Amino acid sequence: MARIPSRQETYYAAQTAAHVDPTMKDCILKLYRSAIRVGDEWEDDFKRVSAPGLVLWGEKDPYAAAEFGARLAQKTRARFVSFPGCSHWWQLERPAEVAAELERHWTTA
């Protein structure tokens, strides 16, 4: 059974959708249609990442599980931060915490 989005998720989605014009829709559709084997073409490049990295993720992202973000962080030797209880819109749900993580990354990288 499909999960019903929260009122907050619905609000954020509506706010984002209000800024999506026909050009953006076309670009997103082309991107999604090209995503047949996501990440396969980047696998070798992950080994060459040498800069400190930070991967931020919503623990309850309905579109991409937090495990995907954790694997990405592991492959790039980045620090992984999952925001508990947050969805795909973690940056809007927890702006102060996100800002703190970014500041921490920028001051230690």
Q: Which residue is it, tokens 């970014």? A: 102
Q: Which two tokens stand for residue 12?
A: 């954020």
Q: Is the pTM of this model over 0.75?
A: no
Q: Supply the CATH classification number for the domain 20-108.
A: 3.40.50.1820
- Look over the chain and give the mean of its residue pLDDT values, rounded to a whole number: 88
- Look at 9 and 75; give whichever has higher pLDDT: 75
pLDDT tens digit sequence for 15-56: 888 888 889 888 888 887 887 776 777 788 888 889 999 999
The number of helix segments (H) and strand segments (E) in the chain equals: 6, 2
Which residues, in sequence order, are CB contacts of 87 under 8 Å at separation 6+?
A: 5, 6, 9, 58, 60, 61, 62, 93
Domain ranges of the chain: 20-108
Higher pLDDT residue, 24 or 81?
A: 81
Please give the span between the terminal C-alpha atoms of the chain, in angstroms, as a whole number: 42
